[in-house]
A and B are shown apart, each in its own frame.
Chain A
């Protein structure tokens, strides 16, 4: 039924107003082996708090590999030129990173029992967009935007961005009008009020689908750039090369305040020393540039402690592969999947990050247990922060074939909760741990939105 009055209460004009949102009651988590959408109970007043309460098994016969996902609509529906008062945050868009299939999942009428309402087959995606291997989902102005890592045929590139209609989920096509030199793809987001879209580079499917290729990495063949597009003309504006020793430029977290023209981006590894790094991109005098603000070094280790992939290097790389920025643009959370750490930095000054907190759990060598005493395999990987910035949830798997290289004994899926202290610092909640009997966990989404779902048009 059409709504006559009011916009979706989970749409907020500004990030500041979204921080006043009620606490999350449910989380959705991408599960793999087998592929499923998990529902976790995050309501402390509920009897099933801290449990996986439902699994929507996907019918893709294990070829999908769930990875990232997102909402059909969010606060961007309050933007003035794409004002859509009747849209609702209701459908989850679940792409299979391996299959290139998309499931449209309805979280109504029972948010604890979401159901598939539509499946878009890989053939349709490839034919209509020329892309495959779908990754990031953003509810954008006037559509659903999804990044793709590969081209429609084969295992090469270019990857890019495709758009779905946000009312009927029809595949509209590739987004770019002119991609310029952009070939690799991974994450994307935008400075919405400045009409600028940013994209980053992981690699093409031939370089990641069957595991990290160490030779190619040492030959610096993975992505090492980010790209800036004009959101209006959808044309490439400029690229920034981080230098080819900086391999795999991944997560993009622009400031949530639309007035700002800076953001944070993570680089997985520097092949000269295996450090991970965080960079700030920014606009100055009309030109875009980047500056390294954080470097997290690799930790030396004995070869017999290391998996075959790392035996020769004698160190554990931090492998930063996700970051999240609080809605007030103050704290940046950086999980180190290799070394088993989660770090909190104060980035109020985006060029001068201050380490304000650290917890250790899991890790290739560390193998630090959860405070409740249980062993955690893998390390902190996908992080998600509640809108009020008080609770962080993370899962421990990266990507199936890469998991097996760095954690050859296998990863048992887990979701861990971290409490954020009022004036910086954090603690792992000893009473909260979801461990899967079977399978792995990747991206987590909170009901009503979280710190990487929404675009705000108003400061």
Chain B
């Protein structure tokens, strides 16, 4: 639990999770590459990643915001148990349905608005915002959460952009065998985080570190 207490390591973990999230082809870079190769123009990568990034930030942001409001508006013990159950439950659900995702009916010939909407749906249903729940529940002030969120998103955008450029240049053909099963890994991560939340609850006797002092 020690690592969860230090602010620096919290930010590092949030950023790592964000970077990992950005590597997932289903979260945006593949769409950006697709659009860029249709036009045969690398600049399209940038034009696409802007709305995709915004969609991701809004999607994650919505999930983080909901948790933050709950954390500071309602009794912590109940919120903690509820979020733990949601995270674990969603993880178990994803474990059996990891291969499915939001069915997108907006097509492939998309504008900025649709790209933003697609990205928002992909991010919010993916549960990456839920992975930040231990930090949100452990935070003393709302202000503590903001840097976590920002570094998470910044790392996500960075890894997404870097991968998009690499794949645009070397081609999908060369990297298809290195694509890991992100969806299954996310399901496992959600379950692990859900279990950590329950353990935190037991260890702290229902109280969070932030409430000890």
Contact = CB atoms under 8 A, between A and B. Distances in A.
A81 B99 contact: no
Nearest to B172: A13
A254 to B, nearest CB: 14
A373 B178 CA distance: 51
Interface in B88-123: 98-101, 103-109, 118
Nearest to A195: B107
Contact of B31 (A3, A11, A81, A87): A81
Contact of A80 (B100, B108, B182): B108
A421 interface: no
A264 interface: no
Nearest to A5: B180
Interface residues of A, number: 36
B38 interface: yes
A458 B172 contact: yes
A83 B26 contact: yes
B184 A80 contact: no
A91 interface: no
A79 interface: yes
B173 interface: yes
A366 interface: no
Given A80-B31, A192-B108, A195-B107, A459 B179 contact: no
Contacts of A195: 107-109
B37 to A, nearest CB: 5
A193 interface: yes
A232 B31 CA distance: 17
Contacts of B40: 459
A13 B108 contact: no
Nearest to B26: A83
A7 B26 CA distance: 13
B184 A193 contact: no
Interface of B: 25-26, 30-31, 33-34, 37-38, 40, 98-101, 103-109, 118, 171-173, 176-184
Given A2-B98, A81-B118, A86-B183, 9 more contacts: A4-B184, A80-B30, A83-B30, A85-B182, A87-B99, A195-B107, A195-B108, A258-B38, A459-B37
Interface of A: 2-7, 9, 11-14, 17, 78-87, 142, 167, 192-195, 231-233, 258-259, 457-459
